[in-house]
A and B are shown apart, each in its own frame.
Chain A
Amino acid sequence: MRIVISAATSAIAHQCALAWARMPGAEFELIARDVQKLDGFANDIITRHPAVKVHQHIVDFEDAQAIGALAQKLGETPIDIVLIAQGSLTDQALAQTDFNYLKSELGLNAVSSMLFAESFAEQLAKWGKGKLAIIGSVAGDRGRASNYAYGATKAALATFAAGLQQRFAGSSVSISIIKPGPTKTPMTSGLNNSKMASAESVARVIVAGIEARKRVIYAPKQWALIMFVVRLIPFAVFKRLNF
């Protein structure tokens, strides 16, 4: 089972990797921006699962050409799973005043993920099979005052994934959009995160969802219902809510 993970140094992606590593025959192509950091995560996988093969790749997450070339290279042999996990929790207040910051956040959270999705979808299409999953967020389901700069990028990814799904419908290429609820990771460590779901439990849901070729994966699962309700709240009520 050959698995490509971009932003392999994110906590959720790493927990997914550990879950896959427990399965027989897992082999990883890990992609990240920071060599040293990636090395630490790769070592963690190998130390826990000495039989697992791990290859590391460093790339500039916003260099369209480089991403395409990497996908091409990795796609020379068939890929079973692609997980695209980059993302940074945008500081909404800062994004409203510092437009350079806003721009770079939009770039990483939306553009970079789409470049990876497009590049790797092409490789899966070439072999006529494979599962591609993109990490979005429940924050993309409805714009909220507290996090719309972040939420909008995640909504864009959901739409992008929906398009890919239609494009590959009826083939053996499956596309999933993952919508984690707030998760206890380094990304949320500034927030009061003690009640959040663990990255490990979120990863379990994701791995099972990808395996089942689900189009939309809420993790933990109860977020599907919560967001269903949130989307239905009339604006007249919604505008007064504070969450």
Chain B
Amino acid sequence: MTLTAWGRLRTNEAKISEPATLGDLVGRVASGEQFLGLGLARSYGDVGTNGDGVSISSANLNKMVSFDPESGLLTCEAGLTLRDIQQTFCNRGFMLPVTPGTSFVTIGGAIANDVHGKNHHFAGTFGDHVVEFDLVRSDGSITTCSRNQNEGLFRATIGGLGLTGFIARATIRLARVAGGWVETETIAYGNLGEFFSLADDSEADWQSTVSWFDCSTRKAGRGSFLRGNPSGSTDPLAAASSSLAVPLVPPISLINKLSLDAFNIGYYHLKKATSGKARMNYREFYYPLDSIQHWNRVYGPKGFYQYQSVVPRRDGAEVTKEMLQIIARSSAGSFLGVLKTFGDKQPAGLLSFARPGVTLALDFPNRGEATEKLFAKLDVIVSEAGGCLNPSKDARMSRQMFEAGFNRLAEFGQYRDPNIASDFSRRVID
């Protein structure tokens, strides 16, 4: 069966198996065959692919097991999607405490990449809200891991890129909310300095902050800052209506210099025009792109990369400016540039990406060597600043870059499951 990661850079002929029960799952995991766990394949690069080998998918392990409204603890199978959780609980006064920018993500995938959201300075990463999980390993064992029990394996599995075992079920703590609404404010900014003051000023009073910015024109640096807090509104929220879709892959990328400039300038003015306060439902606020299915297809048959870096806050402003200049000059421009600050919370997992600093995320159409050259230049800046790249978005970083950015890699090694590997692990770890 074909398996393509979100960036669509490659197509794998994978052997996908979809066990439907725990017994089935243990049988497959312990079959002796090398494998990798698979969620909804929303990772951009190769952390979720295993060449033409076996992928064990959680597609049929998507049941809820129990929920305690006193504590907010939800126990569920690892294939349950964040979308399903939000929809089920938003009108019951609970939501996920941390969510990435798409809801088409499984619990297993969210743990394995220790995903972050717009509220990192407030709530940390997804892993910070995982209470425990059951890990199935290739020796046939099922190990319950938490902060009190098998803590080493717990910390290794959070952000562990699926390499420590298959997460069968997990208990996570949902956050209490009034309903599914968010009180937001959008503010246009003209340069990076303004961005950083907005980010600093918002930390105390706003749970979520994020910004989109323009990096394709000479005015690079201007953008739109969005901040939000859970609303006190208890108005019930209707289920999502059916969404638009990009039905097929166009023969060439629709993202070119012209359309990009037009998009970025248009987006800037649109946001500027709608600056101000607004009440949004959680889908508009957290998942603006989920309403267009398969939007990744607009990049055409060659696919695209996301480059997401984090650098320490100290030189963050300088480093970001330098990176944006290089990107603007390269005219390899970006459809969506996201800039945000992470809070001071220490990472939940041994290999977690999110850490104190400034993170920049940009999508680039795959233009072969030109794109690689640009990335090489950016790598130098990120490395020199003591930063690193996000594995869940990556398809090309070097081994040195990974080792330099993830200094607990050696410690992580002792928790690896010997029968699990990914294209990513073969490229930068094994």
Interface residue ranges, A against B (CB under 8 Å): 11, 37, 40-41, 43-44, 47-48, 50, 185-186, 189, 192, 194
What are the residues of chain A within 8 A of B65 when measuring CB–CB?
A: 40, 43-44, 47
Q: How far is the CA of A40 from the CA of B79 in the complex (A)?
A: 14
Q: How far is the CA of A48 from the CA of B88 in the complex (A)?
A: 6
What are the residues of chain B within 8 A of A189 when measuring CB–CB?
A: 17-18, 20, 59-60
Q: How far is the CA of A44 from the CA of B66 in the complex (A)?
A: 8
Q: Report A87 CB to chain B, min CB distance, Å.
A: 15
- Decide yes or no: A186 and B63 within 8 Å by CB, A192-B1, A194-B1 being known contacts: no
What are the residues of chain B within 8 A of A40 when measuring CB–CB?
A: 21, 63, 65
- Decide yes or no: A41 and B60 within 8 Å by CB, A48-B88, A189-B18, A194-B1 being known contacts: no
- Decide yes or no: A43 and B1 within 8 Å by CB, A48-B88, A186-B18, A186-B20 being known contacts: no
Could you give, for residues 61-77 of chain B, a 1 whenever the CB lies within 8 Å of some chain A CB and a 0 otherwise?
00111110000001010
Query: Chain A residue with minimal CB distance to B16?
Result: A189
Q: Report A38 CB to chain B, min CB distance, Å.
A: 11
Interface residue ranges, B against A (CB under 8 Å): 1-2, 17-18, 20-21, 59-60, 63-67, 74, 76, 88
Q: Report B54 CB to chain A, min CB distance, Å.
A: 14
Q: Report B249 CB to chain A, min CB distance, Å.
A: 15
Q: Contact: B64 with A48, CB < 8 Å?
A: yes
What are the residues of chain A within 8 A of B76 when measuring CB–CB?
A: 47
Query: Chain A residue with minimal CB distance to B69?
Result: A50
Q: Report A27 CB to chain B, min CB distance, Å.
A: 19
Residue in A37, A43, A192, A194 whose beta carbon sits within 8 Å of that of B66 in the complex: A43
Q: Contact: A43 with B18, CB < 8 Å?
A: no
Q: How far is the CA of A211 from the CA of B74 in the complex (A)?
A: 33
Q: Report B60 CB to chain A, min CB distance, Å.
A: 5
Q: How far is the CA of A11 from the CA of B76 in the complex (A)?
A: 17
Query: Chain A residue with minimal CB distance to B242?
Result: A201
Q: Contact: B60 with A43, CB < 8 Å?
A: no
Query: Chain A residue with minimal CB distance to B23?
Result: A36
Query: Chain B residue with minimal CB distance to A34?
Result: B21
What are the residues of chain B within 8 A of A194 when measuring CB–CB?
A: 1-2
What are the residues of chain B within 8 A of A41 when measuring CB–CB?
A: 63
Q: Contact: A43 with B20, CB < 8 Å?
A: no
Q: Contact: B60 with A44, CB < 8 Å?
A: no
Q: How far is the CA of A47 from the CA of B64 in the complex (A)?
A: 6
Q: Contact: B66 with A186, CB < 8 Å?
A: no
Q: Contact: A44 with B63, CB < 8 Å?
A: yes
What are the residues of chain A within 8 A of B17 when measuring CB–CB?
A: 189
What are the residues of chain B within 8 A of A37 when measuring CB–CB?
A: 21
- Decide yes or no: A43 and B63 within 8 Å by CB, A48-B88, A192-B1 being known contacts: yes
Q: Report B122 CB to chain A, min CB distance, Å.
A: 27
Q: How far is the CA of A1 from the CA of B100 in the complex (A)?
A: 39
Q: How far is the CA of A197 from the CA of B20 in the complex (A)?
A: 18
Residue in A11, A43, A185, A192 whose beta carbon sits within 8 Å of that of B64 in the complex: A43
Listed by A's residue number, 24 A-B pairs whose Cβ atoms lie within 8 Å are A11-B60, A37-B21, A40-B63, A41-B63, A43-B63, A43-B64, A43-B66, A44-B63, A44-B64, A47-B64, A47-B65, A47-B66, A47-B67, A47-B74, A47-B76, A48-B88, A50-B67, A185-B60, A186-B18, A186-B20, A186-B60, A189-B17, A189-B59, A194-B1
Q: How far is the CA of A119 from the CA of B73 in the complex (A)?
A: 42
Q: How far is the CA of A41 from the CA of B20 in the complex (A)?
A: 11
Q: Report B173 CB to chain A, min CB distance, Å.
A: 15
Q: Report A97 CB to chain B, min CB distance, Å.
A: 25
Query: Chain B residue with minimal CB distance to A37?
Result: B21
Contacts beyond the supplied A44-B64, A186-B18, A194-B2: 19 A-B pairs with Cβ under 8 Å: A11-B60, A37-B21, A40-B21, A40-B65, A41-B63, A43-B63, A43-B65, A43-B66, A44-B65, A47-B64, A47-B66, A47-B67, A47-B74, A47-B76, A50-B67, A186-B60, A189-B18, A189-B20, A194-B1
Query: Chain A residue with minimal CB distance to B3?
Result: A194
Q: How far is the CA of A37 from the CA of B60 in the complex (A)?
A: 13
Q: How far is the CA of A117 from the CA of B269 in the complex (A)?
A: 63
Q: How far is the CA of A222 from the CA of B59 in the complex (A)?
A: 25
Q: How far is the CA of A37 from the CA of B25 in the complex (A)?
A: 13
What are the residues of chain A within 8 A of B67 when measuring CB–CB?
A: 47, 50
What are the residues of chain B within 8 A of A11 when measuring CB–CB?
A: 60
Q: Report B11 CB to chain A, min CB distance, Å.
A: 12
Q: How far is the CA of A186 from the CA of B25 in the complex (A)?
A: 13
Query: Chain A residue with minimal CB distance to B17?
Result: A189
Q: How far is the CA of A43 from the CA of B63 in the complex (A)?
A: 8
Closest 5 CB pairs of A and B: A47-B64, A186-B20, A44-B63, A189-B18, A186-B60
Q: Report B91 CB to chain A, min CB distance, Å.
A: 11
What are the residues of chain A within 8 A of B1 when measuring CB–CB?
A: 192, 194
Query: Chain A residue with minimal CB distance to B64?
Result: A47
Q: How far is the CA of A73 from the CA of B157 in the complex (A)?
A: 49
What are the residues of chain B within 8 A of A186 when measuring CB–CB?
A: 18, 20, 60
Q: Report A161 CB to chain B, min CB distance, Å.
A: 28
